Amino acid sequence: MNEDFISKGLENDRYLKAIRLGKQFEEELFTTLKNVSQDVIESIPSWFPEEIDHDQNLTRQRSEPMGHLRVDTPMARVNAAGEQLKFHVCIEWTQPSVHRQDEHADGSLCIVFYKIKNLDRAEYDAVKAQTAEADKWDAIQFDDDLWNSDLGLFYIPVDSGPAITEAFETLKAHFLEYGVEYGELPTENQ
């Protein structure tokens, strides 16, 4: 036991303050993620059910990813098998090498991204190709999802609050432009 470390944690409630600070940080990020989803819903309400129940989750672990906060929003759109798509927005910390990025001084890479759960991989690949050809999406990078390698994600590395805001604005615009290519509305194939 490192008594000096424990003593410093007890001084002036440092431990309790750190817990509160971490909780406030997580709440702010969840609010940001929900606002991204809500902005998309308000832009194209026909792509989402009338009653929305956002599913949120976080991990704090030392494996990959090192940590994440995410919000899943069910869509009205479905894949070819009739499975409901989910709009997934996330902020994630990983080792830079996971996304083939240069090492960072602090050792971690923070990215914001979106993916579509239950999406057919061919649809992701088609949108990825179109995105790569368009200069206006130069900030967006591509990779496989760490949780499910069959899912692809669109991501942007970030290092500050303003960078997170700007990255999500870019990702929202991307989704609003290409979202029509993700699955279909159930009435489209009738």
pLDDT at 52: 83
Whether the link from the prior residue into 74 is cis, omega within 30° of 0, is no
Longest dimension (CA), the chain: 69
Q: Does residue 190 carry a pLDDT above 50?
A: no
Segment 41-77, tens digit of pLDDT: 999 999 999 888 888 777 777 676 678 899 999 999 9
Cα 142 to chain centroid distance, Å, stands at 13
pLDDT band at 104 (very low <50, low <70, confident <90, very high): low
Domain ranges of the chain: 3-189
How high does pLDDT run on average in the chain?
A: 87
The radius of gyration of the chain's CA atoms, rounded to the nearest angstrom, is 19
- Is-above-0.75 flag for pTM? yes
DSSP for 40-105, written as a single string: HHHH-GGGS-SS---EEEEEE-SSSSSEEEEEEEEEEEE-TT-PEEEEEEEEEEE-GGGGT----T
Residue that wins the pLDDT comparison between 165 and 65: 165
Tally Cβ neighbours within 10 Å of residue 177: 15
